[in-house]
Amino acid sequence: MTKLIILDRDGVINEDSDDYIKSPEEFVPLPGSLDAIARLKQAGWTVAVATNQSGIGRGYYDEATLAAMHDKLARLLQAKGAAVDYIAWCPHTPDDDCDCRKPKTGLYKRIADHFGIDLASVPVIGDSFRDLQAAMAVGARPILVRTGKGGRTLEKHANELDGIAVHADLAAAVDSLLREA
């Protein structure tokens, strides 16, 4: 059986910006995030990423630039003997009313279809409320990190986060998951 985990990208793996991450140069991994992914891979996990990338729909960067950012991530992980197994991304803006932009579930369903598995209890680590809403909607296990927009999410949605695990960052969340295994 596949041990799958789904990670948000901006604010979980790499630094986030209210001005969007628009180039490979702006794609800067958060401290410990790459090592955390490497530890997951060493423990036999399949790692998927689900990321809203409305900067494409807004015209801030194009799909080739997004691919270059993901190539940078792949190179950095390869240096640690690790990789992301699948990346699902949504290029749409909120006004497009697509089915893939989180908090809708299209990205997570695409990942489930890709791996041919049910997402029940699959850990989903995110920093925004919409990451967690989409995870809950597919029966996955939402986990919040305080990096990126996580602190704001915790302040704004404290009542709705009852029972959801909260960790300082991806490394701490992965440490917790690996202890459970």
Residues annotated as part of the active site? 8, 10
Token representation of residue 163:
């029972």
CB proximity list for 181: less than 8 A, separation 6 or greater: 3, 43
Cβ–Cβ under 8 Å, residues 48 and 81: no
Task: Work out the number of other CB atoms within 10 angstroms of the CB of residue 11.
Answer: 26
| Residue found under tokens 């036999």 | 44
Q: What are phi and psi of 81, to 5 degrees?
A: 70, 30
Contact 142, 126 (CB under 8 A): yes
The answer to whether 98 touches 106, Cβ cutoff 8 Å, is yes
Q: Are 63 and 105 in contact (CB under 8 A)?
A: no
User: Computed from CA positions of residues 133, 149, 84, 164, in that sequence, does the dihedral angle turn out positive or negative?
Assistant: negative
